[in-house]
Amino acid sequence: MIRVFDKVIDLDKPVNRFTVVDLICPKRAWHVFNEPVKEFVNSVDELMVSGVETHNLVLSQLREQGCSVEVPVEVEVECNGQKYVRRFRVDAICDGKVIEIKRKYTKELAPLYIWQVKVYMALLGINKGAIISLLDGYVKEIEASMDELKNVKERLLSNMRKVLCGGDVSRHVGKWCRYCRYKDMCLNERLM
Ligand code: SF4
């Protein structure tokens, strides 16, 4: 607990948020959502902070060239008659394509990045997108049918419901487990 004048910052409170990347697996999203703020602070390093600044510099260049940047998207799910709205932010939309900026695109991280872009494509009803890899200039173009995007959206909504509505939270094991902060407690690394 930190006191600032008459205000209090409670580092033991749960984070109560998740990202689209976390939602690739309901269990991962659940862990993030319920993690105390202090754990989250521990996991953020200086590299991530400077990564955010780099990101902003690149986005401002895209904005100058007519792209919409940091576009908000809202997702609503309902649990037992109660509505929950979650907001995500798409890096950019340029010429009708979803653009996501990454420090470096690698084949190991590709499943996470591609899932993220496809979620944005599904939420916005856009069937083309790209991931820009800043360190090497690689551009990974992505195209998906509306049927595929419908499945992506259903999976996203289902995973959000699993986290927000309570009850059993299932695992979704995949290549991404190797890069999951919770793999040790999840034990799935042993199954891979
Ligand atoms: S290790 Fe894999 S299955 Fe377990 S929480 Fe992480 S992403 Fe989900």
Q: Where are the extended beta strands (E) located within the chain?
A: 2-4, 7-9, 68-79, 82-94, 97-102, 128-133, 139-143
- Atom nearest to 176 CA in ligand 1: 7
Closest C-alpha residue for ligand 1 atom 1? 183
Phi, psi of 164 (to 5 degrees): -85, -25
> One digit per residue, pLDDT tens: the chain, 192 residues?
888 888 998 999 999 999 999 999 999 999 999 999 998 888 776 666 667 787 888 999 999 999 999 999 999 999 989 999 999 999 999 999 999 999 899 999 999 999 999 999 999 999 999 999 999 999 999 999 999 999 999 999 999 999 999 888 999 999 999 899 899 888 655 555
Q: Is 140 within the bounds of a domain? A: yes
Q: Is 189 within the bounds of a domain? A: no
User: Which residues, judged by CB distance below 6 Å to any ligand atom, belong to the binding site of ligand 1?
Assistant: 25, 27-28, 171-173, 176-177, 180, 182-183, 186, 188
* Token digits of residue 103: 């420090």
CB atoms near residue 50 (< 10 Å): 11
Q: Is 179 within the bounds of a domain? A: no
Q: Is 106 within the bounds of a domain? A: yes
Q: Is 192 within the bounds of a domain? A: no
The answer to whether residues 61 and 92 touch, using CB atoms and an 8 Å cutoff, is: no
Residue 141's closest CA among 97, 175, 109, 89? 97
pLDDT of residue 166: 85
pLDDT of residue 43: 79
Q: Is 150 within the bounds of a domain? A: yes
- Atom nearest to 186 CA in ligand 1: 4
- Atom nearest to 182 CA in ligand 1: 6
Domain count, the chain: 1
CB atoms near residue 122 (< 10 Å): 24
pTM above 0.75, yes or no: yes
For residue 52, give its domain range: 2-167
CATH number, residue 45: 3.90.320.10
CA distances from 159 to 18, 113, 148, 171 (A): 11, 17, 17, 10
Q: Is 183 within the bounds of a domain? A: no
